[in-house]
Amino acid sequence: MVARTFLVRHDDSTFTVDYDTDDGFEVFQFQLFSLTSIPPDEQKIVGEDNDRIISDDSDLAAVSEKLQLVSITSEEARKPEKQEETTSSTTGAGNFDAGTSVMSDEELARMLQAEEEALLLQQYVAGDNRAHFEEKVRPHISKVLLYEDPVRQEAARKTVPLDNLEEKALVSLAKEGNFKPSKVEEDHAFLLQLLFWFKRSFSWVNAPPCDGCGNETTAQGRGDALPSEIQYGATIVELYRCNSCSRVTRFPRYNDPLKLVETRTGRCGEWANCFTLYCRAFGYESRLVLDFTDHVWTECYSEALGRWMHLDPGEAIYDRPLLYEKGWGKKLNYVIAIAKDGVYDVTKRYTRKWNEVLSRRAITTESSVVSVLTSITKECRRNCTSQVLSILEERDNIEREALERDLRSTDDAPISLPGRQSGDKQWRIARSEFGTDSLSSSSCTVRICSDEHVTKIYNAFSSILHKFVEDSLTASKGVEVLKILRATVVDLKKLPYKKRRASLKPNSVVGTSLVHQLLPSFKELLNALSLKSERDSNGILSVCLAGDPVQTALALPVALHALDELISDLSKCDNFSKGSLSFPLLRLNRICSGAVLASGEELPFGIATAAFDGTRMSKWEEPNGAKGCWIMYKLSANMQELVAYELMSANDAPERDPMDWVVEGSNDGGLSWHVLDERRSEMFDKRFRRKTYNVKSTGFLSNMFRFRFLAVRDVKSTSRLQVGSIDLYAKQN
């Protein structure tokens, strides 16, 4: 039901916008985006009658119908430099980035008062144990210096599948439409892929398997370290007795990352220790971060972000510094970052409850903490040149300002963070770090969908199937031809992304002459994959790169999954003929290259655009969508008539499959909606099951489509909805 109609003024134009309370404020922002091209995260909406800034549904309910829309970016650009300096000095927190949400004056006053009281109280409860604080920090200096050893760095690099991670990094950027990334962007993307690879290659140890029979073991206490273990820093050795054969297995807690590169086992200490070496081995400025409440992780300086970035290798989570306080429920006290050039108190990056943290910092006074860290840092920098010292000191000042700014930011308020995922469940519960089973999730931003290659691949099969009919191939023989193409795609995927070349190999059913005969019909598919065919002097056909290898890397998984489905569909054709060449065997005129917004998404692997990327390897996941959620697709060009669509179930958790939904179209950029199709009690009988639906209400031209998912298959057992893929098909002209 439309609750209100707003008149929104932007620059010299005024727009009439219907606000539906069922849709919520995010949809209202997306409507404004469709009208003004200002993304939601850059919108500043103000009530014209009282200058009230609108930030949620309740604000909209409290203002008159006249609103003004301003682009934050444009507004910041118009501010005179002197005004910015005045604002900074007033807040005492440096220059705020455009779009950063900060507390209201009242909230800030309350926080500062609480911090002042906590700091005053801390003077009475903090011990005078400066030496104990220093003893907890200083031993880690020698550990981080090991990361600078060329031998250790080379040992780490040798274990990394470099080509594979480079390919994944570039493909991740290409999925965002960035096919020409800068070196800085490439480095940032590679670091994230290094993190994900490390999570898969390193093993968490709750209790090691028996060295003799491989069965489960039970902890038996500790033993004395052997000389061969002490050699690699294992001062602690845990002992475990086999539950089957009673053999004792040793678990040395190695501290030398060189040994950890070999064993690739351990708990958070080993994980962070080894991963930080990997980061240094690839040239990233890195720190080992020590949490006094018993956890360790890594920070790297991201040139792309212009700041230090949190990375937890055990959780494969990055840039979520509130993970521990907000997700795990940890009661932090001291978080110290340790690098080759100094030690830093970065606790404020990991909390939004500084006054509470202050009450727990009881080892020594705050002035002693500063004194100890300053002294150690000077020692670390004693051999630095004056030029290097100047650079380091400037970075230190910038970081201090950033820590104060972040402490008072509310940007992360809508982000849902998980409890600890690594380690045995009972162990996590015992440590009060279990939290929830949720992964990191947040409200969704507008994302550009770079999926034109998916549409090109789908269209390319038309010429192949038409050639089958023209040459009177049976469906079974056509399947064999497609299997040859599939085998070639598989071979190409296995090769380094810059050196892809594979043969089209005939089989006992499809001979060389038939492959040569059909070759012209393959051209469109090869073009869609940035590939070309070549024939050597012996008549052997091969397929190789014809353009940007990243385009090929992005498209090959789509082609593989499309071939799997086409082979399955063609195998079911009893009488294959020209009449068979229709939807859904031919999936023509797929809509692509739009903008996507959803009610929510899973970070980092369940984002909204994953629903449109054409592969089974990804999915859109809405953490709170079981009882209702939505996803919208805004066209980039002319209006289209939606005549059909397809949904595919995701890789796991059938209870999260969509069951009831409504498909709507809008011809005014989301101001009003027309129901195109409704489905109830739909069931996906297996994983990766694609279901095709013809739109019931045709003839309506739209520039935006919306799926409103009303319920999942088993709403009692999950809070989530997930969709493997969504494909939209327009009427052919």
Read off the CATH number of the domain in which 244 is found: 2.20.25.10
Of 33, 52, 71, which one is at a domain's C-terminal end? Answer: 71
Specify the higher pLDDT residue, 541 or 191: 191
Residue type, 269: G
Residue 89, pLDDT score: 30
Q: How far apart are CA 628 and CA 606, in angstroms?
A: 17
Instruction: Give the pLDDT band (50/70/90) at residue 664.
Output: very high
- Among 56-70, 213-227, 474-488, whose mean pLDDT is lowest? 56-70
One-letter-per-residue 3-state SS of 153-187: HHHHHHCCCHHHHHHHHHHHHHCCCCCCCCHHHHH
Of 408, 434, 461, which one is at a domain's C-terminal end? Answer: 408
Specify the higher pLDDT residue, 413 or 572: 572
CB 525 within 8 A of CB 559: yes
Is the model's pLDDT at 483 over the cut of 80? yes
| Helical packing angle, 183-201 and 162-174, nearest 10° | 120
Residue 428 located in a structural domain:
no
- Which CATH number goes with the domain that contains 630? 2.60.120.260
Q: How far apart are CA 731 and CA 151, in angstroms?
A: 62
Residue 438, pLDDT score: 54
Q: How far apart are CA 417 and CA 323, in angstroms?
A: 6
Residue 79, pLDDT score: 45
Q: 219: helix, coil or strand?
A: strand
Average pLDDT of every residue of the chain: 88
Is the model's pLDDT at 552 over the cut of 60? yes
Residue 19 located in a structural domain:
yes
pTM of the model as a whole? 0.83
List, for residues 303-329, the tens digit of each pLDDT value. 999 999 999 999 999 999 999 999 899
Print the domain residue range for 355.
130-205+264-408
Torsion of CA 192, 195, 200, 204, to 10 degrees: -150
Is the model's pLDDT at 147 over the cut of 60? yes
Residue 443 located in a structural domain:
no
Instruction: Based on the fold, state whether residues 319 and 170 are members of the same structural domain.
Output: yes
Question: Token match 């250790």: residue?
Answer: 152
Q: How far apart are CA 103 and CA 264, in angstroms?
A: 44
Instruction: Based on the fold, state whether residues 195 and 244 are members of the same structural domain.
Output: no
How remote is the C-alpha of 345 from its chain's centroid?
28
Residue 410, pLDDT score: 66
Instruction: Based on the fold, state whether residues 643 and 663 are members of the same structural domain.
Output: yes
The alpha carbon dihedral of 563, 565, 566, 570 has a sign of positive
List, for residues 83-136, the tens digit of each pLDDT value. 333 333 322 222 223 344 555 666 666 766 666 666 666 666 677 788 999 999
Mean of the pLDDT values across residues 569-585?
90
Q: How far is CA 268 from CA 118, 329, 421, 656, in A?
A: 31, 17, 12, 32
Q: How far apart are CA 588 and CA 457, in angstroms?
A: 10
How long a stretch of residues is the chain?
733
- Among 358-367, 550-559, 690-699, whose mean pLDDT is lowest? 358-367
Give percent above pLDDT 90 in the chain. 68
Instruction: Give the pLDDT band (50/70/90) at residue 201.
Output: very high
Catalytic residue numbers, as ranges: 268, 295, 312
Instruction: Based on the fold, state whether residues 176 and 257 are members of the same structural domain.
Output: no
Question: Token match 């996906």: residue?
Answer: 684
List, for residues 365-388, the tens digit of each pLDDT value. 888 999 999 999 999 999 999 999
Q: How many CB atoms lie within 10 A of CB 422?
A: 18
Instruction: Based on the fold, state whether residues 275 and 252 are members of the same structural domain.
Output: no
Q: How far apart are CA 655 and CA 601, in angstroms?
A: 18
Instruction: Based on the fold, state whether residues 181 and 330 are members of the same structural domain.
Output: yes
Residue type, 566: L
Mean of the pLDDT values across residues 598-618?
91
Instruction: Based on the fold, state whether residues 548 and 516 are members of the same structural domain.
Output: yes
Mean of the pLDDT values across residues 189-207?
96
- Among 523-532, 599-608, 638-647, whose mean pLDDT is lowest? 599-608
Residue 446 located in a structural domain:
no
Q: How far apart are CA 640 and CA 173, in angstroms?
A: 28
Of 218, 235, 263, which one is at a domain's C-terminal end? Answer: 263
Residue 497, pLDDT score: 96
Instruction: Give the pLDDT band (50/70/90) at residue 443.
Output: low
List, for residues 444-462, the tens digit of each pLDDT value. 788 899 999 999 999 999 9
Residue 340 located in a structural domain:
yes
Task: Kindly state the tokens that stand for 479.
Answer: 């399947």
CB 689 within 8 A of CB 651: no
Instruction: Based on the fold, state whether residues 723 and 619 are members of the same structural domain.
Output: yes
Residue 108, pLDDT score: 61
One-letter-per-residue 3-state SS of 525-539: HHHHCCEEEEECCCC
Domain count for the chain, please give it. 5
Residue 90, pLDDT score: 29
> Residues with Cβ < 8 Å from 717, sequence gap 6 or more?
655
Residue 60, pLDDT score: 76
Residue 81, pLDDT score: 41
Residue 122 located in a structural domain:
no
Instruction: Based on the fold, state whether residues 179 and 313 are members of the same structural domain.
Output: yes
Task: Kindly state the tokens that stand for 470.
Answer: 């023209």
Residue 334 located in a structural domain:
yes
Instruction: Based on the fold, state whether residues 156 and 302 are members of the same structural domain.
Output: yes
Q: How far apart are CA 424 and CA 430, in angstroms?
A: 10
Q: How far apart are CA 146 and CA 275, in angstroms?
A: 13
Instruction: Based on the fold, state whether residues 270 and 344 are members of the same structural domain.
Output: yes
Instruction: Based on the fold, state whether residues 229 and 270 are members of the same structural domain.
Output: no
Residue 92 located in a structural domain:
no
Residue type, 381: R
